[in-house]
Structure 1
Amino acid sequence: MNDLTLVIDDDPSFNAILVRTMERRGYPARGVLDAAEALQVARESGARRIILDLNLNGSSGLALIPALLGINPDCRIIVLTGYASITTAVDAVKLGAIQYLAKPVEIEAILGAFEDDDMPDFDLPVSDEPLSIDRLEWEHIQRVLNENEGNISATARALKMHRRTLQRKLSKRPVKT
């Protein structure tokens, strides 16, 4: 099996920095900017590790997970996102990702996820504090956005919200709790 790390992110600067950082840490890496190129490189290389951005040019990176695992069932996929939500995290893991990390992310967290052969720890403590109203709204928007496969217009209609209002809410970082 190839020892390549495939970095799939549509931001050319972030992609190049992540590829360089992986290579400096001793992990051969190659960056691609879109889904079609990602599948082609995955077929050609048999990449063992994959870093996948959740949002690829406005479409969901989650849709790539089954195809990538179909090409190489033993690959380990980490999903990165600037807009983390519980819904997409659960979906990513259900589809076969080994980890879901929010940007900005330290390289140690990525490397640790790839090196951790254990199953995820589902016995983590749960906070007794309820989520804030803002966080609940963010989670609901993310769930509806996921149900509409990332389509902003369809999500806005489902939420009975103006499309620009939704875009403004999505452009902000999610609240912590």
Structure 2
Amino acid sequence: MSEARRLLLVEDDAVFARTLLRSFERRGYAVHHLAGPDGLEEAIAGFAPSHAVVDLRLGGASGLAVVERLHALAPEVTIVVLTGFASIATAVQAVKLGATNYLSKPANTDDIEAAFEAGASATLPEADEAMRPSASLRTVEWEHIHQALADADFNVSEAARRLGMHRRTLARKLEKRHL
């Protein structure tokens, strides 16, 4: 096992985390798993990761805060952000905070390793219809909702307040359209 390949996995889905952990260990990585931002500083100090995979939504916490803190404490770590709620706004924000790549779920070990190897050439999700002049109203609304969610650190109540809508209305819209 190479000491240069030490992976910090920050994922709150226990089943997905266990799958990734086993897969990366088979590929020769030493893997340390965190279910959320708690213990991040200790993991960096004690484990000294060379790579990190961070889920964008960690229960009640934002993976973007983890990316920012991880990059501040260990700027040499190659960070890949995984999300089931991909948007241009969160991709740009993740890269600005220190992520080297951004992948939409479902992503497998091959995808993540390719993202590690791509290094600083971060890949953003393909520009969706909101970036085109002929965008539909629904698509523009969806991008606006995602931007508000990112600005509110994925706090649905706060995002709904900023959008001027009821929290339940926003929750229903989010349930209807998963990415």
- The alignment's TM-score, normalised by the length of structure 2, stands at 0.86
After the TM superposition, which of the residue ranges 34-43 and 102-111 deviates more from structure 2?
34-43
Structure 2 unaligned residues grouped into runs of 5+: none
Deviation of 1:136 after TM superposition, in Å, equals: 1.9
What percentage of residue pairs aligned between the two structures are identical? Answer: 40
Is the 2:11–2:55 contact (alpha carbons within 8 Å) kept by the matching residues of 1? yes
Distance 1:121 1:45, change over 3 A: closer
The one-letter code of the counterpart of 1:58 is: G
Give the counterpart of 1:76 among 72, 75, 78: 78
How many aligned positions are there? 174
Q: Are the equivalent residues in 2 in contact too, given 1:92–1:100 (CA < 8 A)?
A: yes
**Cα contact 2:36–2:61 (8 A) shared by 1:** no
Which residue in 2 is equivalent to 1:46? 48
Q: CA distance change for structure 1 residues 125 and 78 in 2, over 3 Å: closer, same or farther?
A: closer
| Superposed displacement of residue 129, structure 1 | 7.3
State the 1:162 CA deviation.
1.4
Amino acid at match of 1:56: L
Q: In structure 2, do the counterparts of structure 1 residues 140 and 121 end up closer, same or farther at CA, with 3 Å as the change threshold?
A: closer
Match for 2:159 among 139, 155, 170? Answer: 155
- The answer to whether the aligner puts 1:17 opposite 2:19 as a matched pair is yes
**Residue 82 of structure 1, CA deviation:** 0.6
Which amino acid is 1:42 matched to?
Answer: I
Does residue 170 (structure 1) correspond to residue 174 (structure 2)? The answer is yes
**What does 1:27-42 align with in structure 2 at a 5 Å threshold?**
27-42=29-44
- Please say if residues 138 and 174 of structure 1, whose CA atoms lie closer than 8 Å, have aligned partners that are also in contact: no
- 2: CA distance, partners of 1:88 / 1:26: 31
139 and 16 in structure 1: CA distance in 2 versus 1, 3 angstrom threshold: same
Shift of 1:41: 1.0
Question: For 1:89-168, what aligned pairs fall within 5 Å after superposition?
Answer: 89-117=91-119, 119-120=121-122, 130-168=134-172
1:47 alignment partner, SS class: coil
Give secondary structure in 2 for the equivalent of 1:34: coil
**Aligned-partner Cα distance in 2 for 1:57–1:5:** 21
User: 2:157 & 2:128 partners in 1: Cα distance?
Assistant: 34
Q: Which amino acid aligns with 1:163?
A: R
What's the RMSD between the two structures over aligned residues? 2.4
Distance 1:146 1:44 in 2: 31
Q: Which runs of 4+ in 1 moved over 4 A?
A: 124-129
Contact 2:87 2:143 in 1 (8 A): yes
For structure 1, which runs of at least 5 residues remain unmatched after alignment? none
Q: Classify 1:36/1:121 alpha carbon distance in 2 versus 1 (closer, same or farther; 3 Å).
A: closer
